């Protein structure tokens, strides 16, 4: 549930801007109403889902950003990045985490070999746009109403194959896989991001993101949705659905939307 964590005195509207003024410290927060509108009106349950889910997405992406920033630093520091044991171990730990065990780093790599392996790793160590994560969570969990999202924090239908790793799929005897359980939303999102970053089925998604990076553009949810054709049996219909959710049910400014609904005054 989203509840106000701070006391607020009043709400005022001026043109397209509205303000929340804190009773305690007198701090004024300014929001742009147009940036927070959604094309389709959202019921309270949908607003609650976005507000509760979004912080976990931000935190999961923060970890990837920290890893990527470190890789950018290492890439510019050849040969120091592979001559120092600590850095070499860190690079190989990331390569292992992102399933690039055929491209491990060694002390004797040439500069070209080093940069080639760094490029392969950085292709995978990158964020998934928050709106894309939210759109898929909305679709896969029915706005957080699904059995598994409620019971084991699984919002994407992620599977595992070790007994005890989750719950058996409904109405399946002697299952060969389980629906994986997670301690919280952030852990689930971290695994989802990791799967999109390492899965061969999402090569196109990563290539789209790379092309955006080459054009000095940030990863874009609408563009990267084109790389999700193999996420669902619906194929291109699934891409259309994801884009429709982004366009119609998510605001332009998610940060402001969530902040406002977390802190808006109660009547």
User: Digits of tens for pLDDT over the chain (267 positions)?
Assistant: 333 333 333 333 333 444 544 444 445 678 899 999 999 999 999 999 999 999 999 999 999 999 999 999 999 999 999 999 999 999 999 999 999 988 899 999 999 999 999 999 999 999 999 999 999 999 999 999 999 999 999 999 999 999 899 999 887 888 899 999 999 999 999 999 999 999 999 999 999 999 999 999 999 999 999 999 999 999 999 999 999 999 999 999 999 999 999 988 765
Encoding tokens for residue 267? 């009547």
> Are 114 and 120 a contacting pair, CB within 8 Å?
no
Q: Are 64 and 113 members of one domain? A: yes
15 located within any domain: yes
Of 89, 86, 87, nearest to 78 by C-alpha is: 87
86 located within any domain: yes
Q: What is the reported pLDDT for 74?
A: 97
Q: Are 30 and 89 members of one domain? A: no
18 located within any domain: yes
Q: Are 27 and 61 members of one domain? A: no
Count of structural domains within the chain? 2
Domain of residue 19: give its range.
1-36
β pairing state of 28-32 and 178-180:
unpaired
21 located within any domain: yes
State pTM to two decimals. 0.89
68 located within any domain: yes
* Last residue in a domain, options 90, 108, 124: 124
């Amino acid at each position: 549930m989203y509840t106000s964590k701070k006391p607020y005195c009043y709400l005022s509207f001026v043109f397209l801007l509205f303000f929340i003024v804190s009773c305690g410290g007198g701090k004024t927060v300014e929001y742009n109403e147009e940036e927070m509108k959604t094309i389709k009106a959202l019921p309270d349950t949908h607003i609650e889902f976005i507000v509760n889910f979004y912080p976990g997405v931000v935190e999961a992406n923060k970890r990837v950003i920290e890893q990527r920033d470190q890789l950018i630093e290492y890439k510019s520091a050849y040969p120091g990045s592979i001559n120092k044991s600590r850095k070499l171990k860190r690079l190989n730990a990331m390569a292992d985490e992102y399933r690039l065990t055929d491209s491990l780093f060694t002390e004797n790599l040439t500069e070209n070999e080093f940069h080639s392996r760094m490029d392969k790793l950085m292709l995978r160590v990158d964020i998934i746009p928050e709106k894309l994560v939210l759109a898929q969570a909305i679709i896969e969990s029915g706005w957080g109403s699904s059995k598994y999202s409620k019971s084991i924090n699984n919002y994407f239908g992620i599977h595992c194959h070790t007994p005890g790793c989750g719950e058996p799929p409904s109405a399946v005897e002697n299952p060969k896989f389980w629906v994986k359980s997670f301690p919280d939303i952030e852990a689930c999102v971290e695994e989802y991001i990791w799967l999109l970053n390492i899965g061969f089925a999402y090569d196109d998604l990563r290539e789209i993101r790379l092309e955006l990076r080459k054009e000095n553009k940030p990863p874009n949810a609408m563009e990267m949705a084109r790389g999700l054709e193999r996420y669902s049996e619906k194929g291109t219909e699934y891409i259309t659905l994801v884009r429709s959710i982004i366009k119609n049910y998510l605001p332009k400014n998610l940060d402001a939307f969530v902040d406002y609904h977390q802190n808006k005054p109660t009547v």
